A and B are shown apart, each in its own frame.
Chain A
Amino acid sequence: MTLSPRFSMTLGAFATVFLAVIIHVLVVFGIPLNVQHSAYDNIAEYGPDRQFNLLPDVRPQQEALPDLDPSMKHAACRFQLVDGPVLFDAGIPTSFWSIGLFNSAGETLYSLNNRTAGADRLSMLVLTPSQLSILRENPPENLENLIVIETDEISGFALLRAHVPHPSKANAVDVALKSATCGTIG
């Protein structure tokens, strides 16, 4: 069978558009799988895992991560739950701080700020459901006061943001962020 030129041109145009849509979708979905430097990777440059590492102050041309607020100081902690549950503990002398928990793909798992934390101190425990059932058999004394977050994500990171109300408070915030713990329970 022979197609008329007009028909084959129309068919060609449709095929082009159809194929273009498929390629567009593949490219958009493929980008997250082929990223060279994720936020999870970048944070590793600032110090070892399972401890809060102070990120450098957000200044022009020295941004540790993109889109950070220059009015804040940041500390980040990478963790892998196969190494055990992670306990976050911090007391930051500022009017506003917040913490976000993200998985290795950068999706939010949990977030809170100093008002929703319900206490002046941040004390939060992140673990897997199986680790929680082990912990329940022999609960630590302060389990009642902890914010317990169960997650199936094995690796992730936490970003702690603390507002610096005035440059004179910068040192105090620095010290508090450096002494914040992100480690093993007990």
Chain B
Amino acid sequence: MTGSGSPGQPAEIRYGEADWHVQDLPLAIRPHKTRPFRTLVFLSIIVGFASLLGISSAYVMIEREQPLNAVTIGPWQAYPKAGTAEADPYSVAIYTRGAVVPLASGEGLALVARQDSAGHLLDPTCVYRISGQTPAARLWTLTVTDGDGHLVQTLPGRVYLDSQSLLRNQDGSFEISVANNPHSGNWLPLAAAANASDGLRIVLRLYDAPVTTGAALDGIQLPTIERQACP
């Protein structure tokens, strides 16, 4: 970077060698004055900012733990390509960094909800109702974790609910209360002592379901998550 001279009025034009750096030549053809210090500072600023930007954007992408090729259905997100050779670089980085062993396509499919059906972030101090239908699957389980995907201590010590122990309506639909204190009917317990900042994820794992073995994911029926009450 070089400074600019003000294009002031030429007093007189001289061609002596003593004042060769005349200021009234157009900037582009003015002889170059090297300013090593300024150039160095300028380049360091570029490199510094670029590193900051590049590393922080990579960090944000990895920490969000939401790969690019997610399939979103209502509040649920699935990454059917996770852990395969076709996975995008972000999910490869996320899964290897977390040492996560994904559910393979022949086993099942994990769907993660970080929001309720209205689009609000899930809050472990609230009461939610999960209702509706699930896609055809031989077995499915619902698990609650904190915002980082770790299991939490609940009042009854149970952290999941599976399709085999579920109370259903006549038509096969179901309602599940998701709350930290006991509820009648199907109860999925939340963390006994949770702060809103701990975050909440609800993981629905479908085992041996046609959707994991090729059938298209779009158009499948998934349960809704409704917020009932918040403190």
A residues apposed to B, CB below 8 Å: 1-5, 8-9, 12, 15-24, 26-29, 31-32, 35, 37-39, 41-42, 58-61, 63, 65-71, 95-96, 98-102, 105-108, 110-113, 115-116, 159, 161, 163, 165-166
Contact = CB atoms under 8 A, between A and B. Distances in A.
B230 interface: no
Contact of B55 (A23, A65, A105): A23
A42 to B, nearest CB: 5
Interface stretch (B10-18, B87-95, B123-131): B87-95
B24 interface: no
17 contacts: A12-B42, A17-B53, A22-B50, A23-B58, A24-B55, A28-B62, A37-B99, A60-B150, A66-B99, A70-B151, A70-B160, A96-B208, A98-B106, A98-B207, A112-B107, A113-B107, A115-B208
A96 B162 CA distance: 12
Interface of B: 1-4, 27-33, 42, 45-47, 49-51, 53-55, 57-59, 61-62, 83-85, 87, 89-90, 92-93, 95-108, 110, 138-139, 141, 143, 149-153, 159-160, 162, 164-165, 203, 205, 207-208
B150 A100 contact: no
Nearest to B139: A96
A71 B27 CA distance: 74
Contacts, number: 200
Nearest to B54: A23
A115 B54 CA distance: 47
B151 A58 contact: yes
Given A19-B54, A60-B159, A31 B96 contact: yes
Contact of A71 (B102, B104, B153, B162): B162
B146 to A, nearest CB: 9
Nearest to B52: A20
A8 B151 contact: no
A175 B119 CA distance: 44
B160 to A, nearest CB: 5
Contact of A67 (B55, B110, B152): B110
B159 A67 contact: no
A5 B50 CA distance: 20
